Copies of this chain bind each other. A is one copy, B any other.
Amino acid sequence: MNSAEDKITNWFARQSKLDNRKFPIGIGDDMAMIGLGSDKSILVTTDMLLEGVHFDLSKATLEQVGYKAMAVSLSDCAAMATKPIGAVAAVALPKRFGQKELKQIHNGINIAAEKYNCPLIGGDITSWKTDAGFAINITMFSSQGNCRPVKRSGAQVEDVICVTGFLGGSDLGKHLEFTPRVFEALEITSMVRVNSMMDLSDGLSSDLPRICTQSKVGALIEEDRLPVSAQAMSKNDPLGAVLNDGEDFELLFTLSKEDSEKLFENWEGDLIITPIGEITSTGIVEMKTACGLIVTLKQKGYDHLGSGNGV
């Protein structure tokens, strides 16, 4: 809530005076929604990945970068429990890149496109005049799944807070080959009513406050219940990794106690779903530590417009 990125996003949201019938969901959620009349709508998300920020070409292949670019947007489709339709890609290539490199990127895009039935339907190819940074932008479209698109703003006091999978340490490799939870989000919302959801892109300590702000609620999570990944365990500060590493691309969602019980009873998916705490009326995001202290959760997830940017 206090990050520079959130501040400017909120400013943009305030500037935009969108007609709510034409755009039922605008700036500030994982996807925007365009109403097309006769109950038809389409959702859209755009994500830019940069060399040296979101991937490092000494550690990642171009195929992995293409895959990741698609997977990040697919994760946004999952975040609202929507069904991917298609995507367009725009690339800014270092001067040294040619047809070979483009085809490698395209291969990676296609792996994700085929798995999630979300074909590439158009694009734009541009090149820097220097060997400056490679950038790839994916804009993806989706349609309503088994329910209305799940927003960040629907969390209710006493909701159970859940996450999928294991958190932390994605920077050790998972961020290049993670599985966007598209199918799982559709499955969960076919079983129970989910009140609020988003994907964990910047870390639990940044993302949970976003649900709380938009829903005008607080949260209390329990350190003991956090699903720590093996990669996070291998780090000096596993808890910090779980809370702050970002790029987990797991689902963070809230639902009523009754629905959570129903979900845990009936969930047969391979993916682990963990209840990590509860939505509160405090308006602040707190954590009960392993030794029983209640502390305010500090937002240390990745901030794209941190103080280094002069904001």
Which residues of A line the B interface, CB within 8 A?
A: 4-5, 7-9, 11-12, 15-18, 22-23, 26-27, 31-32, 34, 36-38, 40, 42, 44-50, 52-54, 85-86, 88-93, 95-99, 102-103, 106, 110, 119-130, 132-133, 135, 137, 139, 141, 143, 304-305, 308-311
Contacts and interface: CB of A to CB of B under 8 A. Distances in A.
A286 to B, nearest CB: 28
A120 B53 contact: no
Contacts of A311: 98-99
A175 to B, nearest CB: 15
A86 B37 CA distance: 15
A2 to B, nearest CB: 14
Contacts of A128: 50, 52-53, 133
A121 B53 contact: no
Count of identical protomers in the assembly:
2
A139 B92 contact: no
A122 B45 CA distance: 7
A309 B97 contact: yes
A144 to B, nearest CB: 11
A127 B305 contact: yes
Nearest to A44: B88
Given A5-B125, A85-B34, A98-B310, A46 B119 contact: no
B305 A18 contact: no
Given A40-B38, A95-B308, A143-B36, A26 B90 contact: no
Nearest to A31: B122
A48 B124 contact: yes
Nearest to A7: B99
A122 B8 contact: no
A126 B32 contact: no
A139 B50 contact: no
B53 A15 contact: no
Contacts of A102: 8
A159 B101 CA distance: 40
Contact of A48 (B86, B92, B309): B92
A99 B8 contact: yes
Contact of A125 (B9, B123, B141): B9
Nearest to A41: B36
Contact of A304 (B22, B103, B126): B126
A232 B122 CA distance: 32
